[in-house]
């Protein structure tokens, strides 16, 4: 009886894995088929800087640039803030308060993105507009600030778990050698947790790339690269905000629709690669804990 139950459980796990892999493959196949018209018709012109469906121009570079810059700003803000917060909750905060504080921080992950978008319009865009004396606060920089708040729970949770999973023998040995708390964190714990930190950053990167609604409300949605290129206080566009605004206006089966799906395919591939890299990084560090 126990053996048959074990076999059922094993087949259930294998079946779930195969179904999940098939779903990923199916999504990839559908995106390839739907974007094939743009790939064959537009070709390398997809890598141009102009997007104007009326004249048959479908350059995705402005959206790709906006996606990468907004994500870079978000990571630049969220990574150090998230890591320092996780160090505090894991290594400095008394254990009886850790669960409460960590739970409150993780509540950020449960807030709908539309709420973040409304907060961005009501507060962050106004602050950016007033601080930098702009005509509009809906800029690439505003989107990056808002996105950094949205990915903070991912970085904090994974980093906190990384430190918390390090065996206490490392801390006890370091204390026995006379190291201070700061030295233990810097010289012992951070190097051990480094692969997990990389995995957390990569997962946050993927999370940031896929965000749509909040970014769409505050980025300004202009299909061009800023001039000069480092002027992040100008409006821009990301792949997700472009898809969210324009996909409903396209005709199914048209080259315009196919070019939009191609942007989704590109985003899917990037996120898939980041997920694989992050899982490999997290897996490599588990061997240190075993």
Q: Tell me if 140 sits within 8 A of 216, measured CB to CB.
A: no
CA distance 96 to 111: 25
pTM of the prediction? 0.85
pLDDT in tens, the chain (290 residues): 545 667 777 778 888 888 988 998 999 999 999 999 888 888 888 888 888 888 888 888 999 999 999 999 999 999 999 889 888 888 888 877 877 877 787 777 778 888 888 888 888 889 988 888 888 888 999 999 999 988 888 888 888 888 888 888 888 888 887 778 888 888 888 888 888 888 888 888 888 887 878 888 888 888 888 888 888 889 988 888 888 888 888 888 788 899 999 999 998 998 888 888 777 766 655 555 55
Q: Tell me if 225 sits within 8 A of 65, measured CB to CB.
A: yes
What contacts 44, CB < 8 A, 6 or more positions away?
A: none
Residue with tokens 């930098």: 132
Domain positions in the chain are 2-289
**pLDDT given for residue 192 in this prediction:** 84
Q: Which fold has domain 2-289?
A: MetI-like fold (1.10.3720)
């Amino acid at each position: 009886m126990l053996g048959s139950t074990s076999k059922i459980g094993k087949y259930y796990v294998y079946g779930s894995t195969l179904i999940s892999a098939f779903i990923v493959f199916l999504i990839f196949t559908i995106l390839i088929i739907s974007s094939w018209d743009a790939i064959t018709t537009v070709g390398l012109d997809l890598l141009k800087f102009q997007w104007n469906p009326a004249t048959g121009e479908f350059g995705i570079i402005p959206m790709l640039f906006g996606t990468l810059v907004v994500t870079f700003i978000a990571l630049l803000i969220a990574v150090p803030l998230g890591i320092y917060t996780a160090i505090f909750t894991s290594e400095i905060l008394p254990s009886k308060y850790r669960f409460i504080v960590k739970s409150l921080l993780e509540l950020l992950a449960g807030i709908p993105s539309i709420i973040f978008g409304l907060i961005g319009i009501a507060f962050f865009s106004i602050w950016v507009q007033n601080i930098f004396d702009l005509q509009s606060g809906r800029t690439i920089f505003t989107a990056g600030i808002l996105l950094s708040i949205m990915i903070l729970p991912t970085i904090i949770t994974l980093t906190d778990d990384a430190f918390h999973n390090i065996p206490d023998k490392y801390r006890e040995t370091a204390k026995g050698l006379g190291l201070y708390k700061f030295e233990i964190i810097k010289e012992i714990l951070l190097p051990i947790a480094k692969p997990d930190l990389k995995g957390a950053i990569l997962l946050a990167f993927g999370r940031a790339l896929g965000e749509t609604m909040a970014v769409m409300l505050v980025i300004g949605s202009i299909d061009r690269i800023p001039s000069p290129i480092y002027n992040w206080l100008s409006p821009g566009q990301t792949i997700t905000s472009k898809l969210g605004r324009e996909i409903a206006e396209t005709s199914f089966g048209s080259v315009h629709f196919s070019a939009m799906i191609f942007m989704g395919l590109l985003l899917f591939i990037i996120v898939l690669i980041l997920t694989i890299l992050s899982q490999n990084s997290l897996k490599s560090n588990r061997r240190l804990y075993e």
